[in-house]
Amino acid sequence: MDFQQVFGKPSETKASAPGRVNLLGEHTDYNDGFVLPTAIPQCTTVQLGFSSDSQHHFYSENLNEQVSISDINRNPSGFASYIFGCIEVLQKAGYTIPSLCVYVQSSVPIGSGLSSSAALEVATLRAVRQLLKLPIDDIEIAQFAQQAEIHYAGVQCGIMDQMASSLADTEHILFLDTRTLERRVMPLPEKAEILVIDSGVPRTLASSGYNQRRAECEEAARSLGVKALRDITGTEVTEKLPEPLRRRARHVVTEDNRVLEVLQGVSSERFGELMNASHASLRDDYEVSVPALDTLVELLQKTPGVFGARLTGAGFGGASVALVAAGEARSIATHVLEQYKQAGYIGQILVPSLELSDAA
């Protein structure tokens, strides 16, 4: 079905936003740290029109699900919570938002750690900005999107995903200081391309250990007398913390330092080494990996043509990202997915994007 079939009239406007893959800087954004995401080709598109009654009406093409928001249904769940959150944060910022019809279509994989939620939020806010000619810029869109996710979807997320969806492209890496929002657009490492493979194990942020990890980091920062773990530059300071706070803080400090090293300029080989170290830290110190991801990452790391690999996103399932020799991503993926299948798992290549029938 299309917008006309669902809502009985054509849409007024539409906007899109991409998912993202994070190359380095995992679980650092809510610690005021540094991140290195890039956009992926898959995106979410939101079509908008004015509602003919006093209610908002949201439809997801992927889920074939429609939700109406009335005075007695002000706490929607699922995909509707992200859209409703975007509308609510705009209204709380002083903008008058009329009742809307919203049609969502997305190619961003859900539950793979590629920020399908941020893509939905940013696309929604872009579409509302166009429809109502709101005077908000791309950074404000990311900030509104973050507030929607925190207050209406219940995920205590940092700003990285929304900034990447709002500002990044597929040809460059976006360096972002999540405290100051200082950013720099950097080229991909020389003679390299990005390979993203879904582990086949979905994850859900709100019900995972994500919020717990954030609370542990905040407790560690309080214990060390700093505003955020970003303010710690050496791991020796973290040794005084009790477990598991010591390991949580150590991951954040070393991960920030890995991102800052890339900022100074590194070879593709060194970038890959940093990705490998990041995965080990996420697995051992931050404890957000799972056996399937560890298997997938290990297979990638052993494969010729792979500079480095790690889990990407919050963990607890989802996808892996690898930096590989330019032009070899598809052949590497075919080889690794066959080995992964022999290990008892079913994965799928996500970037470079393939037709589903070509995936393992």
Residues tagged active-site: 161
How far apart CA 345 and CA 297 sit, in angstroms, is: 13
304: tokens are 């010729």
CA torsion, ordered 246, 251, 254, 260, to nearest 10 deg: -140
Spatial CA neighbour of 318 closest among 342, 354, 282: 282
DSSP per position, 320-340: EEEEEETT-HHHHHHHHHHHH
**Interacting residues of 306 by C-beta distance below 8 A, sequence separation 6+:** 195, 272, 300, 322, 323, 324, 325, 332
Please give the angle made by the CA atoms of 43, 24 and 314, to the nearest 5 degrees.
65
Strand pairing report for 100-106 and 56-60: parallel
Q: Which helix (H) or strand (E) holds 66?
A: strand 65-69
DSSP state of 122: H
> Cα separation of 207 and 78, whole Å?
13
Q: C-alpha angle 168/174/180, rounded to 5°?
A: 110
Q: In what order do the strands lie in the sheet with 348-351?
A: 306-312, 319-325, 192-198, 348-351
Distances from the Cα of 2 to the Cα of 119, 155, 251, angstroms: 20, 31, 46
